[in-house]
Amino acid sequence: MDFKLSKTHLLQQEMYRKFAETEIKPIAEEMDETEVYDQELLAKMHKYGLMGIPYSREFGGVGGDYLSYALCMEEVSKIDGSTGITISVHTSLCCSCIDGFGTKEQKEKFLRPLIDGSKTGCYGLTEPNAGSDAAGQQTQAVYDEATDEYIINGGKIFTTNSGFADLCVVFALTDKSLGTKGISAFVVPLKNEDGSRAEGVTVSDNIRRMGIRAASNCEVSYENVRVPAANRLGKEGQGFKIAMKALDGGRIGIAAQSVGLAQGALNEALAYVKERKQFGRPIAAFQTTQFKLADMQTKIDAARLMTWRAAKTKDEGGNYGPEAAMAKLFASDVANQVCREAVQLMGGYGYCREYPVERALRDAKITEIYEGTSEVMKMVVAGSMKIK
């Protein structure tokens, strides 16, 4: 078993790191303060292929693998959690649904512009009364035989990227009596080709949040939105399967984001303790500090290896769902532990917004919540163990 990255992956890692340092770091604090994602940065991420890493060149993607994508997620998240989730939702949720379940025609029409840099996507599953319980959703899609269209009515909340996204993969009930087996998936344009808002679609202002504040995260309402039947992914009733498959892959990205947040916070704390002097010497010279740093790095490396394992299993076509859940469960917990310890090591300065560890701590919390809470991850892992 080889635990080392290939030369190709090392080169990719270095490229992602340089991009994060030169393009994201100078504006990360400002984006967080203003709670607005920089659209020039988004355009650069499209231009340099960060939004289409694991997808085929046939449709305009980079042609990389999921490990490459995980490396990108870690490097950008070391600098900014908001950028991490912006890439994640577009890549591992929206695009994966179309790539995994779309026809060749749908991939040409919808996937190509998403991964060649033309458009940005989002993913509409969560509703105010339907988070982990997807069967509790109320959004409906009624088929109109006369026009061969579906009419969608309902609303989604916490839809990341929705403030600027061009299209959304939306999940809606086509047969309410069937529960999760009555959910279908649709590609729904949020904008017209001229950039104006699509008819019947309303996007709220950003939901004010504790962390990942620069990411666009809104409530999206659909009122009599007509979508051609050709925009349905898979068959009627396959929506829940499509949504869960996307979340399995998405959890690898969130695990990588968690590793990045933790490593970024540790890097900041390490630089600080080398310079900060107390009692006549740097606090890094104290054994208690060294032991704390050693514990933090050990946990990060363990989370990183679990994340890489899940990514490699996906790349090799294995059953990666349980491994992705374990990686997200462990890495998100590590991110919160390490970010708290980083703030503690830096004392009062760590609590100040002048230093990025304060932002990392706020951003880390959401990794235990989105794309399945820690409790849901434990259910997935326990289910794979065949305990009953």
Share of the chain above pLDDT 70, in %: 99
Range of the domain at 308: 241-384
Q: How many residues does the chain have?
A: 388
What are the catalytic residues? 371
CATH number of the domain where residue 309 is located: 1.20.140.10
252 and 335 together in one domain: yes
Distance CA 290, CA 179 (A): 53
- Of 85, 115, 145, the one marking the end of a domain is 115
346 located within any domain: yes
1 located within any domain: no
Mean pLDDT throughout 45-58? 96
208 and 299 together in one domain: no
Distance CA 344, CA 328 (A): 24
372 and 248 together in one domain: yes
CATH number of the domain where residue 226 is located: 2.40.110.10
Predicted model pTM: 0.95
Number of domains in the chain: 3
CATH number of the domain where residue 29 is located: 1.10.540.10
- 205, containing H or E segment: none
145-196 per-position pLDDT tens digit: 999 999 999 999 999 999 999 999 999 999 999 989 999 999 999 999 999 9
Distance CA 44, CA 27 (A): 13
57-116 per-position pLDDT tens digit: 999 999 999 999 999 999 999 999 999 999 999 999 999 999 999 999 999 999 999 999
70 and 131 together in one domain: no
Distance CA 358, CA 340 (A): 9
pLDDT confidence of residue 1: 65
137 and 201 together in one domain: yes
Distance CA 74, CA 126 (A): 25
Bridge partners, 186 (sequence order): 170, 232
